[in-house]
Structure 1
Amino acid sequence: MLNFPFCSRISDCSITEEGYKALASALRSNPSHLIELDLTGNDPGQSGVKQLNDLLQDPNCQLKTLRFLSLTADEACQYVTGIRGKNPLLLRELNLSEHELGDKRVNQIAVLLQDKHCQLNTLILRECSITEKQGLILTSALKSNPSHLGELDLTCNKLGDSGVKNLSDLLMNPQCKLEKLNLWDCSITEKQCLILTSALKSNPSHLRELNLSGNQLGDSGFENLSDLLMNPQFKLEKLHLFNCKITEKQCFILTSALKSNPSHLRELDLNQNELGDSGVKNLSDLLKYPQCNLENLNLWRCSITEKQCLILTSALKSNPSHLRELNLSGNEIKNAGVNHLCDILKDSHCKLERLRCFFFNSVFDKHKSTAVSKRA
């Protein structure tokens, strides 16, 4: 039986996951004496952290202090544990949304993110009032430990030039495996969008979801994004561009790019943008393609006219088998558009599950019920 002193310091001893397992097993067999254990600077892996964390739950364990991390990262752990009720070293997802972190907490969390013990897959920091300075600190931390993170959500924070530059450096890193990036309403400028999309062009193969809604991307940003969408290595499945003040020219460029590489995209959100005749025509051509696998199309309040609606619905009639959700709310679809929609619903190949056009419910519901009864 091992006889440990009351305090044991074995920091920076190159202890691996296997060593942690042996240590945890020994402590479990004789847990009553040790009150402090410092393992800072060793690499236990997730299973090692879990075993020692489980040890703390043993009623016979007298440990008052168990240290894996630096003091700053440990303070971040205590802060997160107080909010989420679980040690972040054992979490794969960390959501601190709507907590105003301030400089102190941002610095602590940045140190935690850099620590090799931290292996988060998902980091969600929506509406945390992150400033440009804080954005720089956080993105610098992510750059130093990029390989685990698969989803990053920074909705409604202002990253500024330096934060966007650092985020772009992260995206260019070959070790970065980010699949979901949400930058909704982050005050991204045309120049910043150009930097971001250029970074993605240099390392395009991992990203599957991109949300740039509520930002002013400008002509150069859209051109770069469109170049990216044309790249066969870029396999984006969800693209959200809600309220990006897209012009008819920009929509034409964007939809032309999607036409050239149509097979990956499953969800497209163009809500609250004015597509214009050429944008609607290009989008309709995309929908006709047999290679188009789009399942969710959002066109809420896109100033679509009756004529444009007929072009869109005619395209859907020619290739109805993929689409599952369609939102045409807030557009002038009128009776002719409703009739076309009913023809689609009657088609046995139609797999549409959700159809929204709420400004015209009284008209549409009548036609929908007739269409569905005829299909039945």
Structure 2
Amino acid sequence: MDREALLADLLSNKGTSSLLSGQLPIKVVMDNQYIPPLITGAEEDMGTSFTSLGHVVDSVLSDQIKTITLVGSAGSGKTTALEKFIVDWAKGDHCQKFSHVFLFDLKDLSCLDSLYSLKTLILQNRHRFDPESMALVLQKPENVMFVFDTLDLYKHSLDRSAHTLCSDPSMPTTISTLVNSLLHGTLLNGATFLVATRPTDSLKFLEGFKVELLGFSKPQREAYFGQFFTDPHVANIAWQNMERTLGFYDFGSSPCFCWTVCSVYKYQLDAGERLPETITEICVNAMAQIVASLALDEVRARELVLALGRVAAHCCIDPYSTCSKERIASSGLKQLLNAPVLIDSLLRVDGVLESDQFVLSFHTQLMQELLLAVSFLLDKTIAKNATELLNTHEGHVKYLHLYLAGLLNSSQRRPLESLLGTFNDEQLMDFKCWLKTSSQKTLESHYKEKHLKAFRLLHQSQNDMLVKEIVTPSARIGISYAGLGLVDCVALNYIVKCLGGMEQFNLYSANNLTEEGTDILIPAMGLSQKIMLSNSSLSAGSVAHIARALREGITKELDLSHTKLGDENLKVLCSGLRACKLHKLKMLACRLTEACCGDLSSVLTSSTSQLSVLDLMFNELGDQGLMQLCQALKNPFCKLQELKLRSCQLTAESMEALSRALCCGQSELRILDLTENRIGDIGAEHLSQALQYPHCNLQRLTLSATALTRRCCHGLAKALRSDHCSLVELDLSVNELGSEGALQLCKALRKPGCPLEKLNLTRCELTKVVFTEFGLILRSGSSQLKSLSLALNRVGDEGMKSLWNAIADPCCLLEDLSIEMTELTDVSTGDLCASLRASRSLKSLDLSNNVLSDASVTALVQVVQDSPFLQEVNLKYNDFSEDVMEIMDQCGKIKY
């Protein structure tokens, strides 16, 4: 068909409006209101995107590809995209290789019963087509394009094997044979086809290139709202509300849905009412407008909705299900089908209404399931109770639960109740009971996906009191909610706001938490005492929103460990850290370097910062980075009490600066962990000097695996003997102190008033003489030691005798003792049991990884059971057989 004739034919089309914008597609195009939805290539070409259908055709057509299939969901704008393509072709904008383009609606074609030749079909469908043009079509099919719409509504199969195909354009045949012969290339071979459809099984019979119509992106939605509302300010208010409450749903990209939202918003704004907050409110208001336009009295309006609900109940069982004339008659709907608003807005008709051969289905699943929910809550004809309804439609519905929850809210169902009368109280109460019972059971479990589903339902209800009734103290809402979609972010945020706060907001391992999702969660994070984001992937935008949540909220603890945060993102985070209520910040293995320490120092020295615990383990801070932090420690505004710097590439070079900071009189630091840094004896000496100053507040010092030798012990011992030392815990494990070094420490421990209560000398190359000395110290009456680890020092049974005697002594205060892997055997069992029986202080004993056998089990179990003081004995990884497992099972205090 030539350009002018085809364009004129489109412009004269008086058919029903498409789902897009509630207007005729050609009107949208010709009024320059068209915003092209996103188009992307098929799976084998993922990553290919196109600006328009004309771009698709120009880019992909070749001798091998003659068919392009456009796939999109209901309301995604397929029909309008096709007509926009044809208008652009007619205006000469693209695809000028085609001399003729023919547009056919496959739904209409499938209703034709007579026999047609291709010539007849073209001439009858487009009456302004002359014989001379027909000759050109037949002579040069490569210059011809057929545009087929609504393949999903085509009645016949596209399976080539089910037809005897034809090749003669003059031969009359069935529509089914004609369409198949065209698409499979036996008729008018060389012609090009552009086919639009919803997802359907018929797609498997079409070769060529497939593209997907994705609908509107967020900026396109903004542009659409800008066109719908003439006032830019109003357009922005409406669009912002859409994005905040609905833009995260998968149907939010549908142009049809955007038109529905705009129409409802305009009605609400014109009436001076607030804008809807949920999908239930939007769809209820849209349905109310449809029902109101019919001008029915309450009784007839109620009958209509119940009839539609019965049809919906049938169609919901199968997404491809339709409703026959007989079922329509039994539903009571037949007499109302002539109302155009029903056909345009809710129902689609396959066939002629006046004939005996027609079926109905719904344009969208959204409205179909809303009608099912409403009809259930109006009376008991759909189902007697919620359990029956939900069981019947289990696996077939997507929005039914949401609507039922939303309709529990009287304000959300009010627009329909004003037209249909009040909903059934018994049905409402039945679903409320179902929701409470199922949600409470779900929230007592540890299943994240079930939790989120319950939250989505509660969000739809928009009922603070109902949330508080359901989310009781027994709810396990501290589990990780990683993997949140935007709809989950909105629901979770709503729940936390209803509860007024959350002890722990756990997003552990949130690898897909987007900037938009984080923005939504700002209020919830701000209301949480602790935020867990460890092992998550965070963009700079997400970090900025977290910083805002910290500034505005009450959060006291934040865990960002293993998030690959980096220096630049930390700089963004610091904007929130300088003025917040945060007390504890964990950033283990966050790829931080020396470059971040200036920002951290500025946070620590801020007069508004309350940060008291900072965990920077496994970051490459280096000596220069620590020196910057030391400057902060000397600032009177710095409130830091605990600093963890394990494996931060530190050496003795930075220990002198740290020592000066500790004894400057301003530092409040009480806990310091320098594990796995090669500070050596020189670095330890600097720290030992600080411990002797009266202004040093350090109480716990961890120097595990820091390349120490016996030479550091003299300074440490001197510090422990100092009158000003406040150290109560010292960890020197995994260092080569040897017996000589350890004995120097023992001399300090003998001094009355030595403050040390916990000492860890695991794997320090100790010998029997050191164990003997510790036995004497523990019995001396002057030692304050309550926890002692001498593990991984292989002294054997003889080395232990002094310790056994000490444990039994009433002067011994020891509560925790670890002698793991010291080569203890059954020879010691008698002395060990005697000392445990006599001990009045020991609570925990670690005997793991020794050489105890079955022979010791009975005696050990007996003494542990009898002891009123022992709480735990670890016997793991000894030489026990399965024969004694049952004996150890009898004592809950024993780990094995």
TM-score range for the pair, normalised by the shorter chain length: 0.7 to 0.9
Matched-pair contact (CA < 8 Å) for 1:172–1:202: yes
Paired residues for 1:1-376 under 5 Å: 57=497, 75-76=542-543, 78-79=545-546, 89-114=553-578, 116=579, 118-145=580-607, 147-203=609-665, 206-261=668-723, 264-319=726-781, 322-359=784-821, 360-363=823-826, 365-375=829-839
Aligned residue pair count: 320
Q: Could you give the per-residue CA deviations for residues 243-293 of structure 1, whole angstroms, max 9, x where no partner exists?
A: 111121112212211211476222111101122344222211222122123
- Quick check: 264-273 or 360-369, which moved more? 360-369
For residues 673 and 552 of structure 2, the distance between their equivalents in structure 1, rounded to whole angstroms, comes to: 26
Residue 73 of structure 1 deviates from its aligned partner by 9.9
For residues 752 and 687 of structure 2, the distance between their equivalents in structure 1, rounded to whole angstroms, comes to: 24
SS of the counterpart of 2:759?
A: strand
Q: 1:249 to 1:104 in 2, by over 3 A?
A: closer
For residues 144 and 87 of structure 1, the distance between their equivalents in structure 2, rounded to whole angstroms, comes to: 13
Q: 1:331 to 1:258 in 2, by over 3 A?
A: same
The one-letter code matched in structure 2 to 1:76 is: V
For residues 337 and 65 of structure 1, the distance between their equivalents in structure 2, rounded to whole angstroms, comes to: 59
Q: 1:315 to 1:350 in 2, by over 3 A?
A: closer
TM-score of the two chains, using structure 2 as the length reference: 0.33
Q: 1:271 to 1:65 in 2, by over 3 A?
A: closer
Q: 1:209 to 1:177 in 2, by over 3 A?
A: same
Q: 1:119 to 1:135 in 2, by over 3 A?
A: same
Residue 225 of structure 1 deviates from its aligned partner by 0.8
For residues 637 and 829 of structure 2, the distance between their equivalents in structure 1, rounded to whole angstroms, comes to: 51
Residue 320 of structure 1 deviates from its aligned partner by 6.7
For residues 259 and 372 of structure 1, the distance between their equivalents in structure 2, rounded to whole angstroms, comes to: 31
Identical-pair percentage: 32
Residue 107 of structure 1 deviates from its aligned partner by 2.3
Residue 299 of structure 1 deviates from its aligned partner by 0.7
Q: 1:327 to 1:95 in 2, by over 3 A?
A: same
Residue 296 of structure 1 deviates from its aligned partner by 1.5
For residues 185 and 264 of structure 1, the distance between their equivalents in structure 2, rounded to whole angstroms, comes to: 25
- Quick check: 153-162 or 133-142, which moved more? 133-142
The one-letter code matched in structure 1 to 2:734 is: Q
Residue 205 of structure 1 deviates from its aligned partner by 5.2
The one-letter code matched in structure 2 to 1:209 is: I
Residue 332 of structure 1 deviates from its aligned partner by 3.1
For residues 498 and 727 of structure 2, the distance between their equivalents in structure 1, rounded to whole angstroms, comes to: 50
Matched-pair contact (CA < 8 Å) for 1:305–1:331: yes
For residues 164 and 290 of structure 1, the distance between their equivalents in structure 2, rounded to whole angstroms, comes to: 35
Residue 346 of structure 1 deviates from its aligned partner by 0.7
Q: Could you give the per-residue CA deviations for residues 11-64 of structure 1, whole angstroms, max 9, x where no partner exists?
A: xxxxxxxxxxxxxxxxxxxx969x9xxxxxxxxxxxxxxxxx99x9479xxxx9
Residue 86 of structure 1 deviates from its aligned partner by 8.7
Listed as ranges, the gaps of 5+ residues in structure 1 are 8-30, 36-52
The one-letter code matched in structure 1 to 2:825 is: S
The one-letter code matched in structure 1 to 2:543 is: A
Listed as ranges, the gaps of 5+ residues in structure 2 are 1-232, 237-272, 278-492, 500-519, 524-538, 840-866, 868-896
- Quick check: 150-159 or 138-147, which moved more? 138-147
For residues 326 and 58 of structure 1, the distance between their equivalents in structure 2, rounded to whole angstroms, comes to: 48
Bigger Cα Rg: 2
- Quick check: 272-281 or 295-304, which moved more? 272-281
For residues 790 and 565 of structure 2, the distance between their equivalents in structure 1, rounded to whole angstroms, comes to: 39
For residues 249 and 166 of structure 1, the distance between their equivalents in structure 2, rounded to whole angstroms, comes to: 29
Residue 66 of structure 1 deviates from its aligned partner by 9.3
Matched-pair contact (CA < 8 Å) for 2:577–2:609: no
Matched-pair contact (CA < 8 Å) for 1:326–1:355: yes
For residues 260 and 193 of structure 1, the distance between their equivalents in structure 2, rounded to whole angstroms, comes to: 20
Residue 349 of structure 1 deviates from its aligned partner by 2.6
TM-score of the two chains, using structure 1 as the length reference: 0.74
Residue 74 of structure 1 deviates from its aligned partner by 8.2
RMSD between aligned residues: 3.6
